[in-house]
Structure 1
Amino acid sequence: MATIYVLEYGSYLKVQHQKFQVLQQKKLLFQVPVREVTNIILFGYCHLSHGAVQTALFRKIPIIYYSSQGYYLGCLESKTQSKVTYLTEQVRRAENENFVRQQAEIIVRAKLRNARILLMRINRRRPNEVTNKTITELKKIIKCLDVHPPLASLRGYEGKGARIYFQGLSKLFKGEFSFNQRTLRPPKDPINSLLGFGYTLLCQELISTIQLAGLHTDYGNLHTPRNHHPALVLDLMEEFRAQIVDSLIVYFVNKKIFSQEDFTLPDEKGAVYLKQESLKKFLKYWSEKLSTELTHPPTQRKVTLRTCLKLQVKEYISCLMGKSENYQPMLWQK
């Protein structure tokens, strides 16, 4: 299955002979059979034919819009197909404080554990005192979860762990880019820009996967449900942030895949973004990353990372519907 990325300025997406075709100045750039497409992602100034929109809506393929700098703008999709049985159970479970707290604890533990393992892996090659201390501090925070703290405390531990983690991660980057702290909106340096774009892509990948499975995106556990806030998506992202995004960004920086020339100069808000032509390079590595094969611990199947996302959504459904007592997260092996 494929995600179509359209980046070229003025590109035109149409359907012909049951294939999505991308053209620029009437020249065919590439084509993909409609049956193989799961997402269409457009960057900057692109055109779609009426037939392409109709086909995407009919086949429930979301059309996702980003700015030319990789900033998420919105999504065009058919009516969300949440299964009534799942939605009913999501609402019921959201009112069960014990269920919400238990799953939130599992999510925080998985996030911090996977983050710590990434630091340990990279630090073996380039050990430093700050990262060593971070690894120790994260272990202490994870230990605090053994007393099964209330939900508010869990969120506090998650926030504290994330701040400490990025301090340790900052010392593992080498080369021309510096990284002092995580800045979200706007990203103030190239590393933050890369991290933010990676998290946005991961979020959108999970949104599509969760909706396709029939779940509602807004009923989560660790993240508070509220309007226009995909709490479940953010919950299931946590265990994958270090595995998929952070490890890729460390690779980008330390292997000098990107240089200063790949980024815009700071705007009036100090924001730094990838240039549009450099997004294509990021997406090439992103697709390769999601195609990486590994053993999925809960099932012991050798699958791609993209399939791992789908299997974890199924794990959550199993927990939601009472087939398993608790959610079983994707834990990275040491």
Structure 2
Amino acid sequence: MFFNGRQRTIRIRNISQFIIFGAIKLPKDVMQIIRLNQIPVLYLTENLDFLGRVENPSSLQTKYLTHQRQRLHDFEFNHGTAESITWAKLHNQYTFLQSWTPHRVDYTIKQALDYLKLLMDNLPAALSIHELREYMEEADKIYYCAVASIISFYNPCTQTTLQQINQLLKLGNQLLHQYIYTHLISTGLHPDYGIIHSDAHHELPLAWDFSAEFRAPVVDDLVINFVRNLPNLNSNGNGNGKKCPLNLIQHFLKCWEGKLKTFVLHPCAGEVSYRQCIDIQVREYAASLLGDIEYYRPLALKLHPQNNAVTNIAENQKPVLTLV
């Protein structure tokens, strides 16, 4: 591989996935190695939109497929799980919105906090998964208005800057979805059997279900802090406003890996990293699927009690994502 014009060697066992930016065709020998080692490949456009995915369907481990199919018509199980995920999503949006604005709450932010609280209180009134999905969509509308207000406060946005921030949000969501997808596969859950999201409108919907719980604490928190620490986004590269500069993406990928290594207080497991949180939630769902536990317990995060923030602790993990 080549990185910044220099050849770089990476052991295949240290690669968990490939993420390709732009229309780049991998050599046949590389594709053969990828298939033999069952490494998923995600393709994104230069504007960081989803383009496609390469995987080996014959190697897909579907340990829990029979149980997933049996649960398809179990209304109580599906509705209960969907309500838990929806509540966790709203709770994490509310919690992190508060953490980003400890000394500044304008009308937009206060309105979002009040509305999220109202939706959480009224969640039991949702009688179907379709209604729960509508709760999520309504929450997102006002929540992301508040996020935009916070970002504008830390980094007054030109049109170019705003486009780049939106692209980083898209990239973060795709990275999160891909990472959860790899956990689903390794655990033995089929990613096409979603509960809240359907395969008619979402690719690998079960991965998007789990993404709902993690989007605010992982993606949104990362992007807000990324913007806060880069006061002049427009000066970081030679972007033309239509796509993010490569060095900005490289910096973001390093921050993404750091975010996954961040330790937080999990409501059931104590202090664990976000990597471990994702694994815990996937296995929690598998246990509820089998009936080993009564119901799925979602990820509802609280801020660190000592400093009102999470703590960064290094993990022994694979090398960071690298733009090659």
TM over 0.5: yes
Deviation of 1:175 after TM superposition, in Å, equals 4.2
1:170-203 deviation per Cα after TM superposition (whole angstroms, max 9, x unaligned):
22122444499xxxxxx97333222111111111
Q: Determine the structure 2 residue equivalent to 1:121.
A: 99
8 A Cα contact 1:315 1:327, kept in partner: yes
* 3-state DSSP of counterpart to 2:9: strand
- Of the three residues 65, 74, 81, the one matched with 2:52 is 74
- Match of 1:41, SS? strand
How many aligned residue pairs are there?
300
Q: Does 1:275 align with 2:245?
A: yes
- Compute the displacement of 1:43 (Å): 2.1
Report the Cα offset of residue 239 of structure 1: 0.6
Q: In 2, are the aligned partners of 1:218 and 1:228 still within 8 Å (CA)?
A: no
Q: Which residue of 1 aligns with 2:142?
A: 164
Q: Structure 1's 82 and 258: CA in aligned 2 closer, same or farther, altered over 3 A?
A: farther
The alpha carbon displacement at 1:303 in A equals 2.9
2:284 matched to 1:315? yes
Q: Where does residue 246 of structure 1 map in the other structure? A: 220
> Equivalents in 1 of 2:18, 2:63: separation in Å?
29
In structure 2, the residue matched to 1:195 is 169
Partners of 2:302 and 2:177 in 1: CA distance: 23
- Please say if 1:98 is aligned against 2:72: no
Contact kept? 1:109, 1:145, Cα under 8 Å:
yes
Deviation at 1:83, TM superposition (A): 4.1
Residue-by-residue CA offset, 1:211-255 (whole Å, 9 max, x unaligned)? 122211111111124386321111000010000010111112222
What residue number does 1:333 align with? Answer: 302
Instruction: Give the match for residue 184 of structure 1.
Output: none
Kindly report which structure 2 residues correspond to 1:1-334, keeping only aligned pairs within 5 A, or say none.
Answer: 13=1, 22=2, 27-28=6-7, 30-44=8-22, 46=24, 48-79=26-57, 81-147=59-125, 149-173=127-151, 174-178=153-157, 189-226=163-200, 229-256=203-230, 259-262=233-236, 264-265=239-240, 272-300=242-270, 302-334=271-303
Over 3 Å counting, the alpha-carbon distance change for 1:104 and 1:228 in structure 2 is: closer
Gap change, CA 1:41 and 1:229, over 3 Å in 2 = closer
The two structures have a TM-score, normalised by structure 2, of 0.83
Distance in 2 between the 1:144 and 1:317 partners? 28
Contact conserved, 2:155 with 2:228, CA < 8 A, in 1?
A: no
User: Who is 2:318 aligned against?
Assistant: none
Runs (5+) with no aligned partner, structure 2: 304-324
Q: State the AA in 2 paired with 1:246.
A: D
Q: Which has the higher strand share?
A: 1
- Deviating more after overlay: 252-261 vs 215-224: 252-261
How far the C-alpha of 1:260 sits from its partner, in A, is 2.3
Q: 2-side partners of 1:310 and 1:59: how far apart?
A: 21
* Larger relative contact order (CA 8 Å, sep ≥ 6): 2
Q: So what's the TM-score if we normalise by structure 1?
A: 0.81
Distance 1:203 1:46 in 2: 21
Alpha-carbon separation, structure 1, partners of 2:254 and 2:232: 13
Aligned alpha-carbon RMSD (Å):
2.6
Q: Give per-residue Cα distances to partners, 1:2-28, cap 9 Å, x unaligned.
A: xxxxxxxxxxx4xxxxxxxx4676x42
3-state DSSP class of the match of 1:64? strand
| Aligned amino acid, residue 309 of structure 1 | I
User: 2:296 & 2:158 partners in 1: Cα distance?
Assistant: 34
Shift of 1:121: 0.8
Partner Cα separation in structure 1 for residue 201 and residue 163 of structure 2:
30
More displaced, 315-324 or 61-70? 61-70
- Measured against aligned partners, the alpha-carbon deviations of 1:130-174 in whole angstroms (never above 9, x if no partner) come to 212221211111000134532222122111111121122222122
* Closer, same or farther: CA 84–34 of 1 in aligned 2, 3 Å: closer
Structure showing the higher helix proportion among its residues: 2
What's 2:312 paired with? none
C-alpha separation between the residues in 1 aligned to 2:201 and 2:216?
27
